[in-house]
Amino acid sequence: MPQALAYLLRLIAIATVSAALVSAAQAQQMDTKTQRQRPHAAKPDHTAKHKPLARPRTTTSCSEFGAGFVRMPGSDSCVRFGGSVGIGVGTVP
């Protein structure tokens, strides 16, 4: 008799968990189908004439250090990136 009771309790637990998962999935699906209100942006005022902002000109070359150097934005540092690739062929004695 204890085996039958354990089997019955196991079936009830499985049915309860299954029902909970199905109802949670249904609730989530219903939530995604509702339309959400999006905030509307204020319409731009086209009556006012705006001048484009003037961008300050900065030199990006660092000619005093040599060819290939450029100034890093927002600093006074100059850097140059470079490299080379070499292949050597030989025999092993």
pLDDT of residue 19: 84
The answer to whether residue 5 scores a pLDDT higher than 70 is yes
* Residue 64: pLDDT band with limits 50, 70, 90: confident
The answer to whether residue 18 scores a pLDDT higher than 80 is yes
pLDDT of residue 90: 82
pLDDT of residue 27: 74
SS3 of 55, please? Answer: coil
The answer to whether the beta carbons of residues 78 and 70 sit under 8 Å apart is yes
Give the pLDDT confidence of 25-56 residue by residue, as tens digits: 777 776 555 566 666 666 666 666 667 776 66
pLDDT of residue 67: 83
Interatomic CA distance for residues 33 and 43, integer angstroms: 29
In the block, tokens 């731009």 appear at: 44
